[in-house]
Amino acid sequence: MLAIVLAALVALGAVVLWLGGLGRARAVVTAALRAVAQLAAVSFVITAILRSGWLTVLFVLAMFGVAAVTSARRVGVPRQVAFIATAIGAGVLPVLVLVLGTGVVPWKPIAVVPVAGIVIGGVMSATSQAARRALDELRIRHGEYEAALALGFLPRAAALEICRPSASQALIPALDQTRTVGLVTLPGAYVGVLLGGAGPLQAGITQVLVLIGLLAAEAVAVLVAVQFVAAGRIARP
């Protein structure tokens, strides 16, 4: 029955994209198949990883590397993955250092892997959106950029005037999720802690920590990504 339901959901998404002209229906099918295969593989790997601290660190670094490459491709700058990685790392690193260094999140693989995964995944999406929006805005409003230069703005300052407002919209999903948590949705960390046997209060504390940490990490990453775009470090060919 689970397989039937999953197949029906994939078919629904693909058909909607196809009939609505919203994109390639094959993208939904491919994404779903990759998700199944990747999660199946990770489920087996996690069993070994959770027994070793060093393997946990390597796994988190692997997640970070995949996030950087994926984001760079999504932005359309696969050769500038180092700058994308720097933006993502600038958001992820201080949050993980703070929550792990203070002991708020215990140094246990079972705790480190999911928290790091949530933060890295959220920051990856925010970085991709911010960089894409910034680059698109500079391309569309190139005349305004040149006008700012004519008025005496330096190139970086002129670019920031154009791209910074639109890039900040990448934070909207994280802000909305944080504002409406418990009222509209019960996010994964909350549900996961409940299913793990903890009480509602402990689950709520965990979810608040994740949401606020994720919001802080995304804010830093978006700022760094926009600065790189304005400085021409992240630029499409």
Contact 221, 127 (CB under 8 A): yes
Residue scoring higher pLDDT (126 or 163): 126
Q: Are residues 220 and 174 in the same domain?
A: yes
Cα–Cα distance for residue pair 183/119, rounded to 1 Å: 22
Rounded to 5 degrees, what are φ and ψ at 180? -105, 5
User: Is the pLDDT score of 182 beyond 90?
Assistant: no
Q: Residue 225: its pLDDT value, please?
A: 94
Q: Same structural domain for residues 145 and 99?
A: yes
Number of domains in the chain: 2
Do both 33 and 90 map to the same domain?
no
For residue 78, give the DSSP letter. Answer: G
Flag whether 23 is in a domain.
Answer: yes
113 and 69: one domain? yes
Mark whether 44 and 62 lie in a shared domain. no
Same domain, yes or no: 85 and 185: yes
For a pLDDT cut of 90, what percent of the chain falls above it?
A: 35
Q: Can you tell me the distance from the alpha carbon of 52 to that of 42, in angstroms, rounded to the nearest whole number?
A: 15
Identify whether residues 38 and 65 lie together within a single domain. Answer: no
Q: Could you read off the pLDDT of 126-162 as tens digits, one per residue? A: 999 999 999 999 888 888 888 888 888 888 888 888 8
Check whether residue 149 and residue 108 sit in a common domain. Answer: yes
Confirm whether 235 is domain-assigned.
no
Cα–Cα dist 174/109, whole Å: 25
* Same-domain status, 151 and 183: yes
The mean pLDDT value for 160-177 works out to 85
Q: Three-state SS for 185?
A: strand
pLDDT at 71: 95
In the structure, what pLDDT confidence band is assigned to residue 195 with cuts at 50, 70 and 90?
low
Cα–Cα distance, 227 to 217 (Å, whole number): 16
Q: Considering only CA atoms, which of 227, 219, 216 is closest in space to residue 163?
A: 227
Domain assignment present for residue 9? The answer is yes
How is residue 35 written in tokens? 């998700």
Q: Is residue 236, in this structure, part of any structural domain at all?
A: no
Find, among 145, 212, 135, the residue nearest to 178 by Cα.
212
Helix runs in the chain, H state only: 2-20, 25-49, 53-75, 81-101, 109-140, 142-150, 155-167, 172-180, 188-195, 200-230
Confidence of residue 237 (pLDDT cuts 50, 70, 90): confident
Q: Stretch 62-85: mean pLDDT, rounded?
A: 94
Same domain for 31 and 59: no
Q: Mean pLDDT lowest for which of 38-42, 44-48, 132-136?
A: 44-48
116 and 21 inside one domain = no
Domain enclosing residue 219, as ranges: 53-230
Identify whether 166 is part of a domain. yes
pLDDT over threshold 80, residue 21: no
pLDDT classification of 211: cutoffs 50, 70, 90: confident
Q: Do 169 and 188 belong together in one domain?
A: yes
